[in-house]
């Protein structure tokens, strides 16, 4: 009887010993980005490269975006768990009652810029009123209405945007849109050191590269999403200090990415404090505030981009970022 009891005790101990291991199986999350792998995604790749997601009990995979990828559709279809979104979009889709919510923001400053040729009298955004600017169609739902409402720009100024700086380089009178981390670099490689006008420095309010989930995911897997935000914030702090591990993974997923462009992206993000500036200084990387969301909503209403009657506060929650305090 003693032997039987001893065997039963050993069996129970073995079960209890195995339980924690099964309980710690990493939670799988698929994160869909907004473009091909680049420096602007560096913190997420850094968290993968350094095992930070694993440390927080996560098994994260990154699904790159691109011009033909609709991340919001993938999110709603359940093909990805998190989506790199944009707060203007998150407010706009409230009119369609889509069940998505923003839980964090990578960039405290939107990286959108207008670039112009030096020596043409353009030193500030106001100087571009009435001048030709290459603008993409998607901008009609983002910064172009803001420029029209704030500076009196007109649709007659718009020229086709070719997702390239070649037309800009060929026409000294042409300005164009871009990202501060990309197009100025390309223009310089083409022989023109452009005048760079960052819209965020002129009070263009949106965040950029936000983290968006469905309301169902937030309800069922909120703890895993919070751990993702924490690990990603740690990844960004590490990446901006030493980007080599993240860059190696970026180049693996995007072999055409140039080392010089990666280095330029990191320098620019540091220079403009895109990840570490604003409210992140005191509240931590990936933070958001009610005040910033209200500013974006107000500009959208004033530019007739969204119905005033919607409750913009349904587009986001601060509950998760309040618990993440990775200071720059």
C-beta atoms surrounding 263 within 10 Å:
14
**230 has pLDDT over 80:** yes
**pLDDT > 80? residue 23:** no
> What are the phi and psi torsion angles at 267 (to 5°)?
-60, -45
**DSSP codes, 210-242:** EEEEEHHHHHHHHHHHHHHHHHHHHHHHHHHH-
Same fold flag, 26-110+206-323 and 112-202: yes
Is the predicted pLDDT of residue 127 greater than 50, yes or no?
Answer: yes
Q: Are 248 and 278 in contact (CB under 8 A)?
A: no
- Beta-carbon count within 10 A of 191 CB: 7
Domain residues of the chain, as ranges?
26-110+206-323, 112-202
**What would the two tokens of residue 241 be?**
């200090």
List the one residue out of 228, 80, 204, 223 whose CA is nearest residue 145.
204
For residues 7 and 276, the model is more confident at: 276
Instruction: Kindly state the tokens that stand for 150.
Output: 């704030």
Radius of gyration of the chain (CA): 23
Report field, pTM of the whole predicted structure over 0.95: no
- For 112-202, give the CATH class: alpha beta
Predicted confidence at residue 89, as pLDDT, reads 95
Bridge partners (DSSP) of residue 196 are 115
- C-alpha pair distances (Å), 323 with each of 13, 118, 157, 227: 36, 45, 45, 10
Strand ranges for 75-193 from DSSP E = 82-85, 100-107, 112-116, 133-134, 158-159, 175-179
For 160-190, write each residue's pLDDT tens digit.
999 899 999 999 999 999 999 999 999 999 9
pLDDT tens digits along 197-210: 999 999 999 999 99
Is the pLDDT at 270 greater than 60? The verdict is yes
Q: Does domain 26-110+206-323 have CATH number 3.30.70.1400?
A: no
Write down the pLDDT at residue 222. Answer: 97
DSSP state of 140: G
Angle at 251 between CA 249 and CA 256, to 5 degrees: 160
Residues 6+ apart with CB under 8 A from 305: 88, 92, 141, 145
231 is written with which tokens? Answer: 């690990």
Q: What is the mean pLDDT of residues 286-315?
A: 96
- pLDDT at 156 > cutoff 80: yes
Taking the mean position of all CA atoms in its chain, how far away is CA 327?
A: 18
């Amino acid at each position: 009887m003693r032997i039987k009891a001893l065997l039963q005790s050993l069996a129970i101990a073995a079960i209890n010993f195995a339980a924690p291991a099964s309980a710690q199986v990493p939670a799988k999350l698929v994160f869909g980005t907004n473009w091909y792998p680049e420096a602007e995604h560096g913190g997420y790749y850094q968290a993968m490269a350094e095992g930070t997601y694993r440390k927080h009990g996560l098994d994260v995979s990154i699904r790159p975006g691109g011009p033909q990828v609709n991340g919001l559709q993938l999110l709603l279809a359940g093909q990805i768990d998190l989506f790199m979104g944009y707060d203007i979009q998150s407010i706009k889709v409230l009119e369609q009652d889509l069940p998505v919510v923003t839980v964090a923001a990578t960039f405290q400053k939107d990286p959108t810029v207008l670039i112009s040729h030096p020596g043409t009298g353009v030193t500030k955004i106001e100087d571009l009123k009435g001048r030709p600017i290459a603008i993409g169609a998607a901008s009609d739902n983002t910064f172009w209405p803001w420029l029209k409402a704030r500076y009196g720009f007109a649709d007659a100024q718009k020229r086709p945007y070719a997702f390239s700086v070649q037309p800009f380089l060929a026409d000294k009178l042409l300005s164009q849109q871009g990202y501060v981390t990309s197009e100025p670099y390309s223009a310089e490689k083409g022989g023109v050191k452009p005048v760079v006008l960052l819209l965020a420095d002129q009070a263009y309010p949106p965040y950029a590269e936000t983290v968006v989930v469905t309301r169902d995911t937030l309800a069922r897997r909120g703890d895993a999403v919070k751990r993702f935000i924490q690990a990603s914030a740690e990844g960004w702090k590490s990446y901006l200090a030493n980007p080599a591990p993240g860059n190696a993974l970026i180049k693996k997923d995007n072999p055409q990415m140039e080392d010089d462009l990666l280095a330029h992206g990191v320098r620019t993000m540091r220079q403009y404090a895109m990840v570490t500036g604003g409210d992140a200084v005191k509240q931590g990387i990936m933070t958001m505030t009610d005040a910033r969301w209200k500013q974006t909503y107000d500009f959208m209403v004033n530019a007739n981009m969204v119905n005033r009657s919607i409750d913009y506060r349904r587009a986001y929650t601060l509950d998760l970022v309040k618990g993440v305090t990775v200071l720059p």
